Amino acid sequence: MNFLATIQCKNLEFTNIEAIIFDKDGTLEDSAAYLRSLGQKRSRIIDAQIPGTGEPLLMAFGINGSTLDPTGMLAVASRWESEIAAAAYIAETGKGWLESLDIARRAFTEADSFIGMAPSPLFMGSLEVLIGLSQAGLKLGILSAASTQRVRSFVQTHQLSDYIQLQMGTTQGGLSKPNPALFMQACQALGVEPINTLMVGDSVGDIKMAREAGAAGCIGICWNQAATHLKSADVTISHLEEIKFTVKR
């Protein structure tokens, strides 16, 4: 039996929706503090080996004091993309490319072991929204720029497996946001068409990916703050509870 929902956000309605795909970091997971600490540790480790690279790396990561830029590398890019970008800063100092990649990868691994890999908390109210959407018969998925391993760890830690049918991240050398083929793969895995699927995310990459894949709509979320970087979304919200729905069978 197909479940077709009408999703309402503010004054906008999306009809004939079968599935909703969520980003993870900054959308379901309150991970800004973790990502900021991780980026700071990565930059310190690299700067200890290649003096002078620390501050430029912090800027590239999108870290400015205690704030994390929602359009910056840590908030948007995959780990593999971040490693390559960090290696480019190292190579600028005259290091060979392979050596630069090795330094970046070892620094990222060391930062992981120091900061830890435990998932951050769910944003308040997210669990209740996911439960409600799932119980209404909608298919739910997570599509993240983080690794699939981290997505699965997040789902397991917060006991979301009963509600989330798709747990998908990126792999080294694989597709990454905003490639629309990634969204199409996610829809195929859920057994739905993009035209019947909504994307909910906190970055321009989420919106661009879903729109180019032919998604039913794009909901931008920026928790409790201005969402000026999400103007390309169909609608922006500051809390998942702003997603309202009715279902017909």
143/228 same-domain check: yes
The parent domain of residue 91 ranges over: 32-115
109/145 same-domain check: no
CA distance 97 to 88: 8
Query: What's this model's pTM, rounded to 2 decimal places?
Result: 0.92
pLDDT of residue 219: 97
Say which CATH number the domain at 213 has: 3.40.50.1000
235/157 same-domain check: yes
Count of domains observed in the chain: 2
98/202 same-domain check: no
163/240 same-domain check: yes
Q: Among 88, 115, 142, where does a domain finish?
A: 115
Residues forming a β-bridge with 167: 142
126/169 same-domain check: yes
CA distance 205 to 100: 27
pLDDT of residue 130: 97
Residues forming a β-bridge with 143: 168
Q: Which of 213, 227, 144, 134 is nearest to 180 (CA)?
A: 213
103/133 same-domain check: no
Backbone angles phi, psi at 162, to 5 degrees: -75, -15
109/126 same-domain check: no
79/200 same-domain check: no
217/125 same-domain check: yes
pLDDT of residue 2: 60
Sign, CA dihedral 77-79-81-83, equals positive
How many other CB atoms sit within 10 Å of the CB of residue 67? Answer: 11
pLDDT of residue 6: 93
Q: Among 115, 140, 158, where does a domain finish?
A: 115
130/47 same-domain check: no
200/89 same-domain check: no
DSSP, collapsed to helix, strand or coil, labels residue 26 as: coil
pLDDT of residue 229: 86
pLDDT tens, the chain, 249 aa long? 466 899 999 989 999 999 999 999 999 999 999 999 999 999 999 999 999 999 999 999 999 988 899 889 998 999 999 999 999 999 999 999 999 999 999 999 999 999 887 889 999 999 999 999 999 999 999 999 999 999 999 999 999 999 999 999 987 777 889 999 999 999 999 999 999 999 999 999 999 999 999 999 999 999 866 678 899 999 999 999 999 988 665
With tokens 């930059």, the residue in question is: 43
pLDDT of residue 38: 95
Q: Among 93, 115, 137, where does a domain finish?
A: 115
pLDDT of residue 4: 83
CA distance 65 to 71: 16
